[in-house]
Amino acid sequence: MTIRIGNAPCSWGIEFPSDPSYPSWQSVLDQCAGAGYKGIELGPIGFMPEDPAILAPALAERDLAIIGGVVFRPFHDPAKWDEVLDASRRTAKALIAHGAQHLVLIDSISARRAPTAGRAAEAEQMGKAEWTAFRDRIATVAKMASEEYGLTVGIHAHAAGFMDFEPELERLLSEVDESILKICFDTGHHSYAGYDPIAFMDRNISRISYMHFKDIDPKVKADVVANRTGFYKACGQGIFCNLGKGDVDFPAVRQRLLAAGFEGWCTVEQDCDPSMPGTPLEDARANREYLQSIGF
């Protein structure tokens, strides 16, 4: 069995295709390789070159592979469906050009949900018709990417979107066929939502196709939940910490993956704000060293 460890542009604060505060894509590749990783995600489509004739040589120079890509778009908003579908197709095409496997679907942050991140009991819920349309948009992209492009598609729960809390995730999984939709399991977002990542893995390990490794500072989490702090402020307070410094039991995560015979990539994600003081390269190195120390 082989588990490989990669990283993602969000660890350098990359959330959108471009922003003046962002480091260049070349710098992100340099630092990812320099921190000891052999793989990286595409990041939001448009951040890295979509022309494989440009990106492929840059990856080869740094001995990096593309692992997968994320469609972090408003699946919850019917008015943005054309945007969601365009990003999905472009990401799928970019992935197959580099021989990558994983397409990750994330409902992006909603103004209706951001104020109640981490607080399931207070969060606004979709009505039946809105949920059905939301589910069908996710299923449409999953079917397209798996059947037309041969990709493995995983749904990713994310704080402050409408696919956040465990009951929502499990409802979606029960309503969309496993042949087209699996799970990209993010340990940190599951903890932030108020649930036990290990217990979820125990119940759903056979459907988990891809992992995102993220940790949560328990003191910050307790504070933002108690004070009903919104998602963006929680990020600014450092809720996403270095691996091994938070409340996620990564040795137990490793044990579950080993027991299940999991093979392939697990990707480190330590979301950060590039406009704030910080050292993503040092964090990337520390996270790689921590994972090596526990056997990854």
Residue 278: its pLDDT value, please?
65
Q: What is the mean pLDDT of residues 8-26?
A: 93
Q: Which two tokens stand for residue 35?
A: 């921190």
Kindly tell me the burial class for residue 89, based on how many C-beta atoms sit within 10 Å of its own C-beta (0-12, 13-18, 19 or more). middle
Q: Tens digits of per-residue pLDDT, 210-246? A: 999 999 999 999 999 999 998 888 988 889 999 999 9
Band the pLDDT of 191: cuts 50, 70, 90: very high
247/267 Cα distance (integer angstroms): 18
Is the pLDDT higher at 20 or at 91?
91
Q: Is pLDDT at 264 greater than 90 in this prediction?
A: yes
Q: What is the mean pLDDT of residues 38-51?
A: 98
Is the pLDDT higher at 15 or at 132?
132
Residue 224: its pLDDT value, please?
94
Band the pLDDT of 276: cuts 50, 70, 90: low
Contacts of 50 (CB under 8 A, 6+ apart): 90, 93, 94
Residue 271: its pLDDT value, please?
85
Is the pLDDT higher at 271 or at 252?
252
Domain ranges of the chain: 3-293
Residue from 284, 280, 285, 286 nearest 22 by CA: 280
Residue 273: its pLDDT value, please?
67
What CATH class has 3-293?
alpha beta
Residue 272: its pLDDT value, please?
78
Is the pLDDT higher at 219 or at 277?
219
User: For 2-16, what is the HEC assignment?
Assistant: CEEEEECHHHHCCCC
Residue 120: its pLDDT value, please?
96
Q: Tens digits of per-residue pLDDT, 46-91? A: 999 999 999 999 999 999 999 999 999 999 999 999 999 999 999 9
16/43 Cα distance (integer angstroms): 8
Q: Is pLDDT at 1 greater than 60 in this prediction?
A: no
Calculate what percentage of the chain has a pLDDT beyond 90. Answer: 92
Band the pLDDT of 275: cuts 50, 70, 90: low
Q: Tens digits of per-residue pLDDT, 179-188? A: 999 999 999 9
